[in-house]
Chains A and B, each alone.
Chain A
């Protein structure tokens, strides 16, 4: 049986103003989705904040797009952006490492990053938090690599509406 993709929302972030107002935009758009538990919508908003702020902090507010859609009982958050080859490879390695961790270790790592931060800006906890909130793997898909400075990719989060935990393996492709 094939489940159809049902589009829920798409938001583009292009200008500085889009990024300045990003929270108001996603909060208003996601909160207005009907027939979904408020606690679940909140997880979608928390994950969106972390995805977008990772782009703001580490990727110079590159033009990006947030898409939310559902397939059967899953809600999928796709965050599409472009970066350079080095940053993409670093992100891929980071995601691989996070996907290999179990939830107890993620919890410990988050606390360690708060207590003994290693970064000048940010906490290093954004993607760890996304994995914890989604109870799922993080997925990275390269869409296009025109040259070393134009790696277009999707960072994909998959949330089970019924919150069945799926720690899975370290595969970072999505099907």
Chain B
């Protein structure tokens, strides 16, 4: 079982920690066509979600394009349907844009995110 999806020029590093039931997404999500990345991400996540009801997702992004927002939302919606999702959204103190992106998704997903300033 692979434990990470390596970062590419327009997609982030995704790491899995089986002990903590955790997936961490870090870097940028800015592909023009986000579908292949989010399909990979969902398959990668599914392996872990099947083993546990409580699932931790850490999101630590630098950039996140508008094309990806709808697919990220779909990904989170699917997770919310099948597990108890605990999402932690990391942001830099001077990065109001990433904080706002997280707050926007939180509102759409209708679950509480934990926001953590780095």
Interface residues of A (CB under 8 A from B): 20-21, 23-24, 37-39, 42-43, 45-46, 49-50, 53, 56-57, 110-111, 113-115, 117, 121-123, 125-126, 128-129, 133
Indicate whether B52 reaches chain A with its CB closer than 8 angstroms. no
Residues of B contacting A125 in the complex (Cβ-Cβ under 8 angstroms): 66, 69
B108 touches A57 (CB 8 A): no
B70 touches A114 (CB 8 A): yes
Which of A23, A121, A123 has a CB less than 8 Å from the CB of B30?
A23
A111 touches B108 (CB 8 A): yes
What is the CB-to-nearest-CB distance from B105 to chain A, in angstroms, rounded to a whole number? 8
Q: Provide the main secondary structure of the chain A interface.
A: helix
A21 touches B9 (CB 8 A): yes
Residues of A contacting B10 in the complex (Cβ-Cβ under 8 angstroms): 23
Report if A122-B67 is in contact (Cβ < 8 Å); known contacts: A23-B9, A38-B94.
yes
Indicate whether B28 reaches chain A with its CB closer than 8 angstroms. yes
Report if A115-B73 is in contact (Cβ < 8 Å); known contacts: A38-B94, A42-B95, A42-B97.
yes
Interface size bucket, B side?
20 to 34
A50 touches B95 (CB 8 A): no
Which of A43, A121, A128 has a CB less than 8 Å from the CB of B97?
A43
A57 touches B67 (CB 8 A): yes
Residues of B contacting A43 in the complex (Cβ-Cβ under 8 angstroms): 97
What is the CB-to-nearest-CB distance from A105 to chain B, in angstroms, rounded to a whole number? 15
Report if A123-B70 is in contact (Cβ < 8 Å); known contacts: A23-B9, A46-B97.
yes
Indicate whether B40 reaches chain A with its CB closer than 8 angstroms. no
Residues of A contacting B114 in the complex (Cβ-Cβ under 8 angstroms): none
Give A61 to B115 CA distance when docked, in angstroms.
37
B63 touches A39 (CB 8 A): no
What is the CB-to-nearest-CB distance from B115 to chain A, in angstroms, rounded to a whole number? 17
Report if A110-B104 is in contact (Cβ < 8 Å); known contacts: A24-B9, A125-B69.
yes
0/1 interface trace, chain B 3-15, chain A, CB 8 Å (1 if under): 0000001100000
Residues of A contacting B108 in the complex (Cβ-Cβ under 8 angstroms): 111, 114-115
Give A111 to B101 CA distance when docked, in angstroms.
11
0/1 interface trace, chain B 61-86, chain A, CB 8 Å (1 if under): 00101110110010000000000000
Interface centre among B32, B33, B73, B107 (most CB of A within 10 A): B32
